[in-house]
Amino acid sequence: MKYIGLIPNWHKKNSNLVVEKIASFFKQREIKLKVADKHQADFYSAESLAVQLSSWEENLKLIIVVGGDGTILRVARDLACWNIPILGINLGQKGFLAEIEVEQMERFLQYIATGQYDFQERMMLEARLTRGEEELGYYLALNDLVISRGPFSRIIKVEAYVNEDFMESYSGDGIIIATPTGSTGYSLSAGGPIANPTMDLFVVTPICPHSLYNRSVIVNGKDKIKLRIDSRQVQVVLTVDGQVRFALEDEDQVIVCRSEQKVKLVCFHDYSFYRMLHQKLKA
Protein backbone atom coordinates (compact mmCIF):
# COMPACT_ATOMS: atom_id res chain seq x y z
CA MET A 1 0.00 0.00 0.00
CA LYS A 2 1.34 3.40 -0.99
CA TYR A 3 1.66 6.09 1.65
CA ILE A 4 2.48 9.77 1.98
CA GLY A 5 5.66 10.85 3.73
CA LEU A 6 5.80 13.98 5.89
CA ILE A 7 9.18 15.61 6.56
CA PRO A 8 8.90 18.60 8.92
CA ASN A 9 11.61 21.02 9.90
CA TRP A 10 11.07 20.60 13.62
CA HIS A 11 13.15 23.70 14.33
CA LYS A 12 10.57 25.95 12.66
CA LYS A 13 8.08 27.78 14.82
CA ASN A 14 4.58 26.19 14.79
CA SER A 15 5.84 23.06 13.01
CA ASN A 16 4.33 20.79 15.72
CA LEU A 17 0.90 22.35 15.29
CA VAL A 18 1.01 22.09 11.48
CA VAL A 19 2.14 18.45 11.64
CA GLU A 20 -0.73 17.62 14.01
CA LYS A 21 -3.26 19.18 11.62
CA ILE A 22 -1.87 17.29 8.62
CA ALA A 23 -1.80 13.99 10.50
CA SER A 24 -5.39 14.49 11.67
CA PHE A 25 -6.54 15.35 8.13
CA PHE A 26 -5.17 12.16 6.59
CA LYS A 27 -6.21 9.98 9.53
CA GLN A 28 -9.84 11.07 9.10
CA ARG A 29 -9.64 9.94 5.47
CA GLU A 30 -7.83 6.69 6.28
CA ILE A 31 -4.81 7.65 4.21
CA LYS A 32 -1.54 6.22 5.46
CA LEU A 33 0.96 8.87 6.57
CA LYS A 34 4.53 8.44 7.79
CA VAL A 35 6.02 11.33 9.76
CA ALA A 36 9.79 11.75 10.09
CA ASP A 37 10.72 12.32 13.71
CA LYS A 38 13.53 14.60 14.86
CA HIS A 39 16.11 11.83 14.54
CA GLN A 40 14.97 10.65 11.09
CA ALA A 41 14.98 14.18 9.64
CA ASP A 42 18.04 15.72 11.26
CA PHE A 43 18.80 18.68 8.99
CA TYR A 44 22.00 19.42 10.90
CA SER A 45 23.41 15.98 10.15
CA ALA A 46 25.93 15.55 7.37
CA GLU A 47 24.24 12.25 6.54
CA SER A 48 21.91 12.33 3.54
CA LEU A 49 18.17 12.18 4.18
CA ALA A 50 18.06 9.29 1.71
CA VAL A 51 20.14 7.33 4.23
CA GLN A 52 18.23 8.55 7.28
CA LEU A 53 14.88 7.65 5.66
CA SER A 54 16.00 4.64 3.62
CA SER A 55 13.09 2.48 4.83
CA TRP A 56 10.57 4.87 3.24
CA GLU A 57 11.50 4.67 -0.42
CA GLU A 58 9.78 1.50 -1.65
CA ASN A 59 6.10 2.42 -1.08
CA LEU A 60 6.28 6.19 -0.99
CA LYS A 61 3.76 8.01 -3.20
CA LEU A 62 4.37 11.63 -2.25
CA ILE A 63 6.58 13.67 0.10
CA ILE A 64 5.15 16.65 2.00
CA VAL A 65 7.78 19.02 3.37
CA VAL A 66 6.89 21.47 6.15
CA GLY A 67 9.35 24.35 6.39
CA GLY A 68 10.84 27.14 4.32
CA ASP A 69 12.66 27.11 1.00
CA GLY A 70 15.87 25.98 2.71
CA THR A 71 14.13 22.88 4.05
CA ILE A 72 12.69 22.06 0.63
CA LEU A 73 16.10 22.54 -1.01
CA ARG A 74 17.69 20.05 1.38
CA VAL A 75 14.95 17.47 0.80
CA ALA A 76 15.05 18.01 -2.97
CA ARG A 77 18.83 17.53 -3.16
CA ASP A 78 18.96 14.51 -0.88
CA LEU A 79 15.86 12.70 -2.19
CA ALA A 80 15.91 13.63 -5.89
CA CYS A 81 17.26 10.14 -6.61
CA TRP A 82 13.94 8.69 -5.38
CA ASN A 83 12.08 10.39 -8.23
CA ILE A 84 9.04 11.05 -5.99
CA PRO A 85 6.94 14.27 -6.15
CA ILE A 86 7.58 16.80 -3.37
CA LEU A 87 4.99 19.22 -1.98
CA GLY A 88 6.17 22.16 0.11
CA ILE A 89 4.11 23.82 2.85
CA ASN A 90 5.68 27.14 3.71
CA LEU A 91 6.58 28.02 7.30
CA GLY A 92 9.26 30.45 6.21
CA GLN A 93 9.18 34.00 4.91
CA LYS A 94 8.91 34.48 1.13
CA GLY A 95 8.95 30.90 -0.16
CA PHE A 96 9.15 30.41 -3.93
CA LEU A 97 9.47 26.62 -3.73
CA ALA A 98 6.56 25.95 -1.38
CA GLU A 99 3.29 25.49 -3.27
CA ILE A 100 1.10 26.02 -0.18
CA GLU A 101 0.94 28.64 2.56
CA VAL A 102 -0.26 27.36 5.94
CA GLU A 103 -3.46 29.42 5.75
CA GLN A 104 -4.49 27.58 2.54
CA MET A 105 -3.35 24.15 3.68
CA GLU A 106 -6.63 22.28 4.17
CA ARG A 107 -8.00 23.08 0.72
CA PHE A 108 -4.86 21.81 -1.02
CA LEU A 109 -4.56 18.74 1.19
CA GLN A 110 -8.05 17.85 -0.04
CA TYR A 111 -6.70 17.97 -3.60
CA ILE A 112 -3.90 15.61 -2.54
CA ALA A 113 -6.38 13.21 -0.89
CA THR A 114 -8.48 13.04 -4.07
CA GLY A 115 -5.53 12.85 -6.46
CA GLN A 116 -6.20 16.26 -8.03
CA TYR A 117 -2.60 17.33 -8.46
CA ASP A 118 0.24 17.17 -10.94
CA PHE A 119 3.95 17.92 -10.78
CA GLN A 120 6.56 19.96 -12.61
CA GLU A 121 10.02 18.64 -13.32
CA ARG A 122 12.74 21.12 -12.38
CA MET A 123 16.26 20.90 -13.74
CA MET A 124 19.19 20.59 -11.34
CA LEU A 125 22.83 21.43 -11.81
CA GLU A 126 25.79 19.29 -10.89
CA ALA A 127 29.24 20.59 -10.12
CA ARG A 128 32.64 18.92 -9.84
CA LEU A 129 35.44 20.60 -7.93
CA THR A 130 38.98 19.80 -9.07
CA ARG A 131 42.39 20.80 -7.72
CA GLY A 132 45.09 19.88 -10.17
CA GLU A 133 44.37 16.29 -11.23
CA GLU A 134 42.36 15.50 -8.10
CA GLU A 135 38.55 15.69 -7.85
CA LEU A 136 37.72 17.04 -4.40
CA GLY A 137 33.94 17.08 -4.52
CA TYR A 138 30.73 16.43 -6.42
CA TYR A 139 27.68 18.58 -5.71
CA LEU A 140 24.03 18.63 -6.76
CA ALA A 141 21.94 21.83 -6.57
CA LEU A 142 18.37 22.83 -7.28
CA ASN A 143 18.84 26.58 -6.80
CA ASP A 144 22.37 27.77 -7.35
CA LEU A 145 26.09 27.47 -6.96
CA VAL A 146 27.98 30.51 -5.66
CA ILE A 147 31.68 31.34 -5.61
CA SER A 148 32.24 34.28 -3.29
CA ARG A 149 34.82 36.01 -1.14
CA GLY A 150 35.43 35.05 2.46
CA PRO A 151 34.95 37.29 5.51
CA PHE A 152 37.36 40.01 4.36
CA SER A 153 36.28 42.72 1.93
CA ARG A 154 38.75 41.96 -0.83
CA ILE A 155 38.00 41.55 -4.51
CA ILE A 156 38.23 38.06 -5.96
CA LYS A 157 38.68 37.06 -9.58
CA VAL A 158 36.91 34.18 -11.31
CA GLU A 159 37.47 33.24 -14.95
CA ALA A 160 34.42 31.77 -16.70
CA TYR A 161 34.47 29.48 -19.74
CA VAL A 162 31.53 28.01 -21.66
CA ASN A 163 32.34 24.79 -23.56
CA GLU A 164 36.05 25.68 -23.16
CA ASP A 165 35.49 29.10 -24.81
CA PHE A 166 36.58 32.00 -22.60
CA MET A 167 33.56 34.11 -21.67
CA GLU A 168 34.62 36.63 -19.02
CA SER A 169 36.94 37.32 -16.12
CA TYR A 170 34.75 38.47 -13.22
CA SER A 171 36.30 40.72 -10.56
CA GLY A 172 34.20 41.58 -7.55
CA ASP A 173 32.53 39.71 -4.71
CA GLY A 174 32.01 36.56 -6.77
CA ILE A 175 29.71 34.84 -9.25
CA ILE A 176 26.38 32.94 -9.13
CA ILE A 177 25.38 30.08 -11.42
CA ALA A 178 21.61 29.70 -10.99
CA THR A 179 19.06 27.30 -12.41
CA PRO A 180 15.69 28.74 -13.54
CA THR A 181 14.30 27.67 -10.15
CA GLY A 182 17.12 29.56 -8.43
CA SER A 183 16.71 32.67 -10.58
CA THR A 184 14.29 34.10 -7.98
CA GLY A 185 16.85 33.67 -5.19
CA TYR A 186 20.32 35.15 -4.68
CA SER A 187 20.73 35.75 -8.41
CA LEU A 188 17.68 38.02 -8.43
CA SER A 189 19.04 39.99 -5.46
CA ALA A 190 22.32 40.44 -7.37
CA GLY A 191 20.46 41.92 -10.37
CA GLY A 192 19.90 38.78 -12.42
CA PRO A 193 16.81 38.09 -14.56
CA ILE A 194 13.88 35.89 -13.56
CA ALA A 195 13.41 32.74 -15.64
CA ASN A 196 10.38 30.49 -15.86
CA PRO A 197 11.38 27.42 -13.79
CA THR A 198 10.40 25.00 -16.58
CA MET A 199 13.09 26.39 -18.91
CA ASP A 200 16.40 24.68 -19.66
CA LEU A 201 19.13 27.24 -18.96
CA PHE A 202 21.63 28.68 -16.50
CA VAL A 203 21.82 32.27 -15.32
CA VAL A 204 25.38 33.51 -14.75
CA THR A 205 25.32 36.61 -12.51
CA PRO A 206 28.31 38.51 -11.10
CA ILE A 207 28.12 39.67 -7.47
CA CYS A 208 28.99 43.36 -6.99
CA PRO A 209 31.20 43.40 -10.11
CA HIS A 210 34.14 45.81 -10.10
CA SER A 211 33.12 47.00 -13.56
CA LEU A 212 30.69 49.28 -15.33
CA TYR A 213 29.52 46.73 -17.87
CA ASN A 214 29.32 43.25 -16.33
CA ARG A 215 25.79 41.87 -16.59
CA SER A 216 24.07 38.51 -16.26
CA VAL A 217 24.46 36.01 -19.10
CA ILE A 218 21.94 33.32 -20.06
CA VAL A 219 23.64 30.02 -20.91
CA ASN A 220 21.99 27.07 -22.65
CA GLY A 221 21.27 24.19 -20.26
CA LYS A 222 23.16 21.84 -22.60
CA ASP A 223 26.38 23.81 -22.18
CA LYS A 224 29.18 23.18 -19.71
CA ILE A 225 30.52 26.04 -17.58
CA LYS A 226 34.03 26.03 -16.16
CA LEU A 227 34.96 28.45 -13.38
CA ARG A 228 38.62 28.94 -12.54
CA ILE A 229 39.75 30.70 -9.37
CA ASP A 230 42.42 33.38 -9.93
CA SER A 231 42.64 34.98 -6.48
CA ARG A 232 45.93 34.61 -4.67
CA GLN A 233 46.02 35.36 -0.94
CA VAL A 234 42.23 35.90 -0.83
CA GLN A 235 39.75 33.59 0.89
CA VAL A 236 37.24 32.14 -1.59
CA VAL A 237 34.26 29.93 -0.75
CA LEU A 238 32.08 27.62 -2.84
CA THR A 239 28.46 27.45 -1.61
CA VAL A 240 25.79 25.07 -2.94
CA ASP A 241 22.12 26.02 -2.45
CA GLY A 242 23.25 28.28 0.39
CA GLN A 243 23.80 25.18 2.56
CA VAL A 244 26.96 23.30 1.55
CA ARG A 245 30.30 25.13 1.82
CA PHE A 246 33.85 24.38 0.71
CA ALA A 247 36.98 26.57 0.92
CA LEU A 248 38.63 27.09 -2.47
CA GLU A 249 42.26 27.75 -3.39
CA ASP A 250 43.92 29.57 -6.25
CA GLU A 251 43.60 27.72 -9.58
CA ASP A 252 40.84 25.42 -8.32
CA GLN A 253 38.28 24.67 -11.03
CA VAL A 254 34.53 24.12 -10.72
CA ILE A 255 32.86 22.40 -13.68
CA VAL A 256 29.09 23.01 -13.83
CA CYS A 257 26.57 21.29 -16.09
CA ARG A 258 22.94 20.18 -16.14
CA SER A 259 22.31 17.10 -14.04
CA GLU A 260 20.46 14.11 -15.46
CA GLN A 261 18.57 14.09 -12.16
CA LYS A 262 15.46 16.26 -11.90
CA VAL A 263 13.21 17.23 -9.02
CA LYS A 264 9.44 16.75 -9.18
CA LEU A 265 7.56 19.57 -7.41
CA VAL A 266 3.82 19.15 -6.89
CA CYS A 267 1.54 21.74 -8.50
CA PHE A 268 -2.23 22.11 -8.86
CA HIS A 269 -4.59 22.83 -11.75
CA ASP A 270 -4.78 26.57 -11.01
CA TYR A 271 -1.01 27.03 -10.65
CA SER A 272 0.51 30.01 -12.49
CA PHE A 273 4.19 30.90 -12.10
CA TYR A 274 3.53 34.50 -13.12
CA ARG A 275 0.65 34.95 -10.68
CA MET A 276 2.77 33.45 -7.92
CA LEU A 277 5.63 35.78 -8.89
CA HIS A 278 3.36 38.80 -8.56
CA GLN A 279 2.08 37.66 -5.18
CA LYS A 280 5.56 36.99 -3.78
CA LEU A 281 7.29 40.11 -5.09
CA LYS A 282 4.57 42.74 -4.83
CA ALA A 283 5.32 45.60 -2.48
Active site residues: 69
DSSP symbol at 66: E
Q: Do residues 184 and 209 lie in contact, with contact meaning Cβ atoms separated by under 8 Å?
A: no
Q: Do residues 239 and 245 lie in contact, with contact meaning Cβ atoms separated by under 8 Å?
A: yes
Please report the sign of the dihedral spanned by the C-alpha atoms of residue 146, residue 81, residue 138, residue 225.
negative
Query: Alpha-carbon distance 206 to 211, whole Å?
Result: 10
Query: Alpha-carbon distance 121 to 218, whole Å?
Result: 20
Q: Which residue stretches of 8-160 are H helix? A: 15-28, 49-52, 69-79, 105-113
Q: Do residues 64 and 119 lie in contact, with contact meaning Cβ atoms separated by under 8 Å?
A: no
